[in-house]
Structure 1
Amino acid sequence: MGRLPTDSRNGYVALVDKGELIGYRVFGPDGRVPGGEYDESALDTGGGLRPELTGRGLGKQAIATGLEYGAAHFRPTAFRVTVASFNIRAQRVVQGLGFVPNRTFNATTDGRSFVIMTRRQP
């Protein structure tokens, strides 16, 4: 799985495998959900896979690839992810990558519940 920066001005990075787009990662404010309490103590990151690729065990590798890219390009002291509370599978994946839940909140856009998780960098 590789990566290709798509626009360095907005923090979005395409995830590609054998030349095919499989998903994306985003870094910075675009990785935040409206309604959450965020500060500059960690670099926010979010992303997704093409819908037909979910449930195939690619999530962990996709997120790990994105974190590797983010660590090399942004050099944060910590990463932060925001995951929908109902998405237990995604929560397990990011916890498996060392993220720890910090708090929950309801989005101001639609009232859905989210969990904010962080991971310190070595």
Structure 2
Amino acid sequence: MNKKDLLIRFLLGGAAVSLSYLITIISPWKILAGIFAAFPAVMLTAVIMVGIASGTKKATNIARGSVYGMIGGIICVITVLVTLETSENWIFSIILGLLFWLGSSLTISTIRERAARKVMSHV
């Protein structure tokens, strides 16, 4: 990764975080801040940068893989919410949520790959 790519990722990601923070401050609907906090800026930036550097096929692979991470994100949010409500320990809740995010993302990806191989072996 060159410095220009890194700078673009930094600017796009930082803009998304800043926008989320501003919405948190100015919005009368606090749920809107949570929705913007989940803005997929990292995924979009990765697809753009890989598409520019390596073409559509590799960008497609990044977008496809991001589906697993986003599904894992749902698992993470549910885990953090339930753990916060039961334990009231935000550090533990975040750590557990991140572990569940990674585990569920990898599990879903593995299941999908095995299913695809199984379908291909029957063709």
The normalised TM-score by structure 1 is: 0.31
Larger radius of gyration: 2
Bigger strand share: 1
The normalised TM-score by structure 2 is: 0.31
Bigger helix share: 2
